[in-house]
Amino acid sequence: MSKQSTRSIAFGLFLAGLILFVYQQFFYEIDEKESIALLEKEGYTVLSEKETKANEKQIAQLQEQLSQAPKQEEKTQEKAENKKEQTNKEDTINKEKKEEPKVYQAVLNITSGMNIVQISDKLAASKIIKSSDEMSDYLAEKNYAEQIKIGEYDVNSEMTIDQIAKIITKTN
């Protein structure tokens, strides 16, 4: 092969590559559905503007709730302390009358972001339940984890785990 024919072949390959590049950059268009499918295949999540705004609004609401949580926690602690004092007085009176099993009472404050382990630990620390693990396992087993409602709940040690679960999930 001569120098001239080699140069002609090289120039032809270069020209073909250039034409393909220009076509892909300026004339080949991927529609929206293909783009979304490609991104989702790569592991990305594609949201519409409506969904994005809704998520931003929800984030703002959750941040507001989070900023209010310490205030609610203080109120709950005050209520719990008052109830504990009252319970202690009642316990003293009960001890003098009879030796009956103690009934512990508490106000359970569930705030945004709490998981079932944290809730179970609070109940166990308040002596409402005997085993934190048993309560966590029960809530997970019955799929109550996603149904737990934010709020304050009066609970006592005479309640069963099932009764407590129904109260904090507001189910019947």
Which residue, among 144, 141, 122, has the nearest Cα to 132 in the 3D structure?
122
Q: What is the mean pLDDT of residues 43-54?
A: 90
Q: Is 53 domain-assigned?
A: no
For the stretch 94-151, pLDDT in tens is 665 555 568 888 888 988 888 989 999 999 998 989 888 999 998 888 888 888 888 9
- Looking at the structure, tell me whether residues 18 and 93 fall in a common domain: no
Which residue, among 115, 101, 110, 113, has the nearest Cα to 145 in the 3D structure?
115
- Looking at the structure, tell me whether residues 79 and 153 fall in a common domain: yes
CA–CA distances in Å: residue 74 to residues 45, 78, 84, 134, 159: 39, 6, 15, 28, 25
Confidence at residue 98, expressed as pLDDT on a 0 to 100 scale: 57
Structural domain harbouring 26: 3-41
- What is this structure's pTM? 0.42
Q: What amino acid is encoded at 2 in this protein?
A: S
- How many domains in the chain? 2
Whether the Cβ atoms of residue 109 and residue 72 lie closer than 8 Å to each other? yes
Provide the token pair at 86: 């009252």
| CATH number of the structural domain spanning residue 122 | 3.30.1490.480
* Mean pLDDT rounded to a whole number for the chain: 86
Spatial neighbors of 4 by CB under 8 A, at least 6 apart, are: none
Confidence at residue 20, expressed as pLDDT on a 0 to 100 scale: 94
